[in-house]
Amino acid sequence: MELQTLQEALKVEIQVHQKLVAQMKQDPQNADLKKQLHELQAKITALSEKQKRVVEQLRKNLIVKQEQPDKFQIQPLPQSENKLQTAQQQP
């Protein structure tokens, strides 16, 4: 699951949670609301854990990418090799 998708899902679930909490304030003894709230909390926790794993993986990938030298970067030749090539090219 992509990070942005996870964040959107978390946002929606948190909004639903806020609505349920408001309903619970009006009817604190409602067993059905308590059950829904408990299930929603578990779902939010699971999404949060997934998000955490995705972010950790993205960080690892970024670190690996930063540590790898750019394959297409042109690096200058050492002075001794540069002089040899220049001498060989002269007619």
Does residue 60 lie within any of the structural domains?
yes
* pLDDT, tens digit (0-9, with 9 covering 90-100), for 44-87: 999 999 999 999 999 999 998 888 766 565 656 666 544 444 44
Look at the pTM and tell me if it is higher than 0.95. Answer: no
* Residue 70 pLDDT: 61
Does residue 39 lie within any of the structural domains?
yes
* Residue 59 pLDDT: 93
DSSP symbols for 12-75: HHHHHHHHHHHHHHH-TT-HHHHHHHHHHHHHHHHHHHHHHHHHHHHHHHHHHHHHSPPTT---
Cα separation, 76 vs 34, whole angstroms: 68
Does residue 50 lie within any of the structural domains?
yes
Domain span at 47: 32-66
